[in-house]
Amino acid sequence: MSQPIDENMVRHIGTLSRIELTDDEVRTFAKQLGDVLEYFDKLQQLDTEDVAPMAHAVELTNVLADDAPRNGLSTEQALANAPQHERDFFRVPKVLGEGS
């Protein structure tokens, strides 16, 4: 790590971000940010020469069914559970006023 995260740096970051921080928050964030950077330093020590680049940590697979045409519901089946219907249409309460 090139320079440690101290309270002045946290205050500066807060100012740049336009975030008001209390003294307790500044101390807490200084420690937390320092811990994060320390962890990154540990990661830099790992040998990744033989590790292939990847976009995700776990393998992703498509879990969707094949997009194949098939028969849909008949009009009678679609309207079977409708509270109200009129001919081949669902009947719903009026939602717009007289002038709309």
Task: List C-alpha distances in Å: 41 to 29, 44, 56, 89.
Answer: 18, 5, 22, 66
- Residue 46, CA atoms < 13 Å, CB-side half-sphere: 8
Instruction: Give yes or no for residue 1 having a pLDDT over 60.
Output: no
Domains and CATH numbers, the chain: 7-44 (1.10.20)
What are the counts of helices (DSSP H) followed by strands (DSSP E) for the chain?
A: 3, 2
* 67-90: pLDDT as tens digits: 889 899 999 999 999 999 999 999
Q: What is the mean pLDDT of residues 59-64?
A: 83
User: Residue 19's pLDDT is what?
Assistant: 95
Task: Give the H or E element holding residue 86.
Answer: strand 85-86
Whole-number percent of the chain with pLDDT over 90: 61
Supply φ then ψ for residue 43, to 5 degrees: -65, -35
